[in-house]
Chains A and B, each alone.
Chain A
Amino acid sequence: MSEQTDTSWQPSASDFAPKPKHQTADVITRPAMSYWQDAWRRLKENKRALFSLYLIFGLITFTLAGPHLWTIDPSAQDLDQIGMAPGADRNVTIAPAYQPWYGPTSDVIYADDNPLGLVLVGDATSQAVRLAWQETGLGAGQTNYGYKIYRTLFALNVGDAFGLPLMETQNHYFEDRLDLQPTDYYYTVVALDKQGVETDQSTTIQISVKRVITMLEAQKRGLTQNKTVAEGDQIKLALHPFGTDYLGRDMLARLIYGGQVSLFIGIFAPLLYVLLGVIYGSIAGFLGGAVDQLMMRFADFAVALPFLLFMILLKVIFGIGPGESGVLPMLVAMVILLWPAPARLVRGQILQIREEGYINASKLLGASTNYLVLRHMIPNTMGVILVTITFQVPSAIFTEAFLSFIGMGVAPPTPSWGSMCNDGIKSMLTRPHELFFPALFISITVLAFNLLGDGLRDALDARMRNRE
């Protein structure tokens, strides 16, 4: 601080007195930060990684707290709502129990606007659609050669195929009970000739089916909610926010329970085999020399073992019969086959650190092996280890999904995201939600762990420390 232009200043004796001891010089400081604080700070700045972290916490909460909040049994089958898409209409009318039908009574009034007089008898409900028609316009003495009944979901134009053949019958009535959904159907009755070939005498009628449930069923499924209901009343079927699968099982409950399996494998397997790899790799790296050579050649051997084959062998060794869960052998197979990759990584790191100057300095100062390992080696490899774990998680989730997809994983009725995909892919075209949701959850989880791993790698990289 010099003010050369100002000449008014006159030095006094006090100006030459020494500064008091307690007074410190002005320094520019910032709070001291440990490695972890710094890493956390940089991770927080990475919006994607932070979001992924929250997402992962969210998913774990979803699978762990889910069963307490959404208390529906994932294997309970709601046969009234098979393959329902989310948000489908849930209204249902209470109807009397199904009674077998042996043809129309004599008071049926046949339609006069079609050649067969085809009419709907009674109500068209999801229990049954009953059709009746008259003899075709054949001459006297000619016999009835039978009829063929078709059903389709799409309006028919002239020349179109009639759709799904339901039955060939000699009768003049037909009862359809096959998978009736609350929608419009087009029923066609075609008269057959003597050889059983279709004639050009056919009639198509459009029928809207109403969904019904019997009182007994409604009570059994707890749909009446202790209200007194009577036949003809409208109630609502059980709610399935994510729809149901091919057996009417609740998709949300299955996703929650499936997530438990998928995340369990996805998180525990990498933790275990990375830990094993870290121990193995650090021993090899620390001891070095012939021991290192021997240990690493063994790791090379382990890499060459085929995973799927081991999975099958372990199932046999564990005495896991068909129809039992293969999750445990899956975990063990992963642990005993996938450790070499982290082991190699850690060994490389340790070898590098071993030759660093500060290690030699510590050794000269008399540091023990324990001190060297705990104070220097492990903290310096921690970043690498953490990043490895986060990148191994998605691959483990994928492995689980793949194995369950090919039927090597969980046993029915236990769901896992992979096995749900396997089930859903069969009806991908007609009921896409059965494949979409589990696939979405796998994708989100895998993406979240990948982004988090990416962020962690940047955050934990010691060379990037103190950089903005």
Chain B
Amino acid sequence: MSSKSPQKSATSANSLSRQLGLYFFIAIVLVAGLLFALNQLAGLMGTATQEAQAVDFANNSISAVLREEPPQLDSSKATDSTSGLVLGHIMEGLLRMDLQDRLSPAIAERWEVSPTHATFWLRKDAKWSDGKPITAADFIFAWQLALKPETGSEYASLLYPIENAEAINRGELPASALGVNAPDPHTLVVALSRPIAFFDKMVVFPTFLPVREDFYNATQGRFGADAKDLLYSGPYVIKSWVHGASMLLERNPHYWDNNRGKLAQINFAYITSDATATLNFFKDERIALARLQAENLTEALRLKWPIRRFADGTVFYLEFNHREGRLSRNLNFRKAIQHVLDMEELVYKVTKLPGYLPGKSLFPDWLIGVEKTLREEYPASTVNVNSTKAKAYLALAQEELGLAEFPEITLLTSDNPVSNIQSEWLQEVLKQTLGLTIKIDKQIFKQRLAKMGAGEFGLLLGGWGPDYNDPLTYGDLFASWNLNNRGRYSSAKMDALINTAQNATATPDRMQAFGAIQQQIFDDVVILPMYERGVTYVVHPQLKGVKRRVIGAETDYTYAYIDPDA
């Protein structure tokens, strides 16, 4: 260490400040340079990945948002609305709903339903996305696949009207015993196990979509897991599927109908259910259609966007776990909860979403009965909120169950803002009035479906969207054999009523059965209807022909087109 003493101490402060200034200058220049370079780099990357643009007339493409990542796209297993939305674009079945929600021919050119048989004549120009023709064998394979017990399809019960389907699903008969045959590659004859007037309406549902056997076997159990593990029959194919991030659909060159698939590309650029993010994407013209939530309504009103509303037909309810050993198996316990929850308060004050109706029944308001709506013909019973009664029921339940204290109850819910608010409201109401401790189990979609199936819940925020246009789509939900009966409710009376509803041919008889099912659900508190959902959304003014559906793909872009003059 040399002992250099600062000799020019007078000038050192001066030089120090000059040096600092220089450093500062260099730092600024470097940061500016870095920012510029990054911007250039982003520009270069942009050409490769294509930045989301709401409506791109030059490339005839639009961008949109998917609310959730589809767990997989195997049509025989799909249950959720997001899968339904994507499948509605990439697959086509025998029949479909047109723009006016009428049943119309798709792969089947024409069809006939008799009390014993349904016959579909397939068009000869319908092709898979690899260019091979779609034949009757593809449907037979798909239906057999969905029914095989090892597939574990939750929707297999939809196929029960077909002869032997139920026995195959129970493993009592081999899949080849299914009452479907193909006299020639373009004719499909379905033997019905019982007369069913609306079988043609049912085949619109994804479980009835075709699957080609050789392709299915080639994927070695990964069918539907990724873009390359799918064979497409619809107007679009998945060009890329970045799991959890985005999905790009491109027009299917082998698709037969020129009236559909006008857009060359549909870019589901984001997968998010975050309302604020979605609104900002729309504001920045990154997506062409955005759903509005309570939090961003005021903003949309202030900007004076044209807002649209659509009742999506979905009913939401609180499901109880009726399995052996569960608290909620006790009727008085369920009645206690029935007497504390005010669904009008939930809808009008808590969720505050426009277009929502307070839940009164499993059967939504719009279902048609004999002449008027089903709900007008069979009004739903309701209870008034009454905490004294509720406490009395709870005390009874406690006595019957022989419990010193109620354990914690798990409420399974999805992880999105609307469910979060609802579950916290429920948690507080049940705690305040009944002193029950509720644990909220928020799960992402896939995980929630798995837990629902396995029965790992005490209470469940569930919902049901219609699969076909008949009250039975809701009516058979709580049959003991229905896998979508997540709480495994099982009662002989309910099963008998559902059998009547399924098998009777006269409409008044069926509606009476539905009325009785509604009453049974109320009396036995099988579930607690919470609300009927409505959707409020904004659409890019240049995007026309977007169809919102109650049944099938919730948002259908297959008829959409861009009008650059709007």
Q: Residues of A at under 8 Å CB distance from B?
A: 75-77, 79, 82, 152-154, 160-161, 163-168, 177-179, 246-247, 321-324, 407, 411-413, 425-431
- What residue of chain B has the Cβ atom nearest to residue A128's Cβ? B348
B299:A430 contact, CB within 8 angstroms? yes
Interface segment out of the listed B27-35, B238-246, B300-308, B316-324: B300-308
A79:B304 contact, CB within 8 angstroms? no
A-B contact count (CB 8 A): 109
Chain A residues, Cβ within 8 Å of B350? 79, 82, 247
A411:B440 contact, CB within 8 angstroms? yes
Main secondary structure of the interface of B (DSSP, over half): helix
Do A154 and B304 form a contact, CB below 8 Å, given A177-B348, A428-B276? yes
Q: Residues of B at under 8 Å CB distance from A?
A: 274-276, 294-302, 304-309, 344-345, 347-350, 352, 354-355, 410-411, 415, 417, 420-421, 423-425, 427-429, 431-432, 439-443, 536
B304:A430 contact, CB within 8 angstroms? no
Main secondary structure of the interface of A (DSSP, over half): loop
A-B contact pairs, 5 of them (CB 8 A): A154-B304, A178-B347, A322-B441, A412-B427, A430-B295
B427:A413 contact, CB within 8 angstroms? yes
Taken together as a complex, chains A and B put the C-alpha atoms of A168 and B308 apart, in Å, by 11
A321:B304 contact, CB within 8 angstroms? no
Contact of A153 among B296, B298, B443 (CB under 8 A): B298
| 6 A-B pairs with least C-beta separation | A323-B439, A322-B441, A179-B352, A165-B309, A161-B306, A427-B295
Taken together as a complex, chains A and B put the C-alpha atoms of A75 and B350 apart, in Å, by 15
Do A321 and B305 form a contact, CB below 8 Å, given A153-B298, A179-B349? no
Chain A residues, Cβ within 8 Å of B440? 322-323, 411-412
Chain B residues, Cβ within 8 Å of A168? 309
Contact of A165 among B274, B276, B308, B429 (CB under 8 A): B308
Do A165 and B439 form a contact, CB below 8 Å, given A153-B298, A247-B350, A426-B276? no
Do A323 and B441 form a contact, CB below 8 Å, given A164-B297, A165-B307, A247-B421? yes
Contact of B354 among A165, A247, A427 (CB under 8 A): A165
B348:A179 contact, CB within 8 angstroms? yes
A161:B424 contact, CB within 8 angstroms? no
Do A153 and B301 form a contact, CB below 8 Å, given A164-B536, A165-B308, A247-B421? yes
B349:A429 contact, CB within 8 angstroms? no
Taken together as a complex, chains A and B put the C-alpha atoms of A431 and B441 apart, in Å, by 27
Chain B residues, Cβ within 8 Å of A154? 301-302, 304
Contact of A425 among B276, B410, B439, B442 (CB under 8 A): B276
Quote the shortest CB–CB distance from A316 to chain B (angstroms): 14
Taken together as a complex, chains A and B put the C-alpha atoms of A39 and B275 apart, in Å, by 52
B442:A323 contact, CB within 8 angstroms? yes
B296:A429 contact, CB within 8 angstroms? yes
Quote the shortest CB–CB distance from B170 to chain A (angstroms): 34
A75:B428 contact, CB within 8 angstroms? yes
Quote the shortest CB–CB distance from A122 to chain B (angstroms): 17
Chain B residues, Cβ within 8 Å of A161? 304-307
Chain A residues, Cβ within 8 Å of B352? 82, 178-179
A79:B345 contact, CB within 8 angstroms? yes
Taken together as a complex, chains A and B put the C-alpha atoms of A178 and B355 apart, in Å, by 9
Chain B residues, Cβ within 8 Å of A178? 347-348, 352, 354
B536:A426 contact, CB within 8 angstroms? no
Chain B residues, Cβ within 8 Å of A411? 439-440
Taken together as a complex, chains A and B put the C-alpha atoms of A177 and B354 apart, in Å, by 10
Taken together as a complex, chains A and B put the C-alpha atoms of A163 and B302 apart, in Å, by 9
Taken together as a complex, chains A and B put the C-alpha atoms of A161 and B421 apart, in Å, by 29
Taken together as a complex, chains A and B put the C-alpha atoms of A76 and B429 apart, in Å, by 9
- What residue of chain B has the Cβ atom nearest to residue A323's Cβ? B439
Quote the shortest CB–CB distance from A143 to chain B (angstroms): 17
Chain B residues, Cβ within 8 Å of A246? 295, 421
- What residue of chain B has the Cβ atom nearest to residue A430's Cβ? B298
Chain A residues, Cβ within 8 Å of B354? 164-166, 178
- What residue of chain A has the Cβ atom nearest to residue B438's Cβ? A323
Taken together as a complex, chains A and B put the C-alpha atoms of A179 and B349 apart, in Å, by 5
Chain B residues, Cβ within 8 Å of A75? 428, 431
Taken together as a complex, chains A and B put the C-alpha atoms of A71 and B305 apart, in Å, by 44
Taken together as a complex, chains A and B put the C-alpha atoms of A92 and B243 apart, in Å, by 51
Do A323 and B424 form a contact, CB below 8 Å, given A82-B350, A161-B305? no
Chain A residues, Cβ within 8 Å of B348? 177-179
Taken together as a complex, chains A and B put the C-alpha atoms of A167 and B366 apart, in Å, by 13
Do A426 and B308 form a contact, CB below 8 Å, given A179-B349, A322-B442, A324-B439? no
Chain B residues, Cβ within 8 Å of A247? 350, 421, 424-425, 428
Contact of A413 among B297, B307, B428 (CB under 8 A): B428
Quote the shortest CB–CB distance from A99 to chain B (angstroms): 13
Taken together as a complex, chains A and B put the C-alpha atoms of A179 and B355 apart, in Å, by 12
Taken together as a complex, chains A and B put the C-alpha atoms of A153 and B420 apart, in Å, by 26
Taken together as a complex, chains A and B put the C-alpha atoms of A153 and B298 apart, in Å, by 8
Taken together as a complex, chains A and B put the C-alpha atoms of A76 and B424 apart, in Å, by 11
Chain B residues, Cβ within 8 Å of A166? 309, 354-355
Taken together as a complex, chains A and B put the C-alpha atoms of A164 and B293 apart, in Å, by 12
Quote the shortest CB–CB distance from A176 to chain B (angstroms): 9
- What residue of chain A has the Cβ atom nearest to residue B410's Cβ? A323
Chain A residues, Cβ within 8 Å of B295? 246, 426-427, 429-431
Quote the shortest CB–CB distance from B421 to chain A (angstroms): 6
B306:A322 contact, CB within 8 angstroms? no
Chain A residues, Cβ within 8 Å of B429? 77
B299:A177 contact, CB within 8 angstroms? no
- What residue of chain A has the Cβ atom nearest to residue B305's Cβ? A161
Quote the shortest CB–CB distance from A39 to chain B (angstroms): 30
Quote the shortest CB–CB distance from A428 to chain B (angstroms): 7
Taken together as a complex, chains A and B put the C-alpha atoms of A322 and B450 apart, in Å, by 15
Chain A residues, Cβ within 8 Å of B425? 77, 247
Chain A residues, Cβ within 8 Å of B411? 323
- What residue of chain A has the Cβ atom nearest to residue B353's Cβ? A178
Chain A residues, Cβ within 8 Å of B275? 426
Chain B residues, Cβ within 8 Å of A430? 295-296, 298-299
B276:A321 contact, CB within 8 angstroms? no
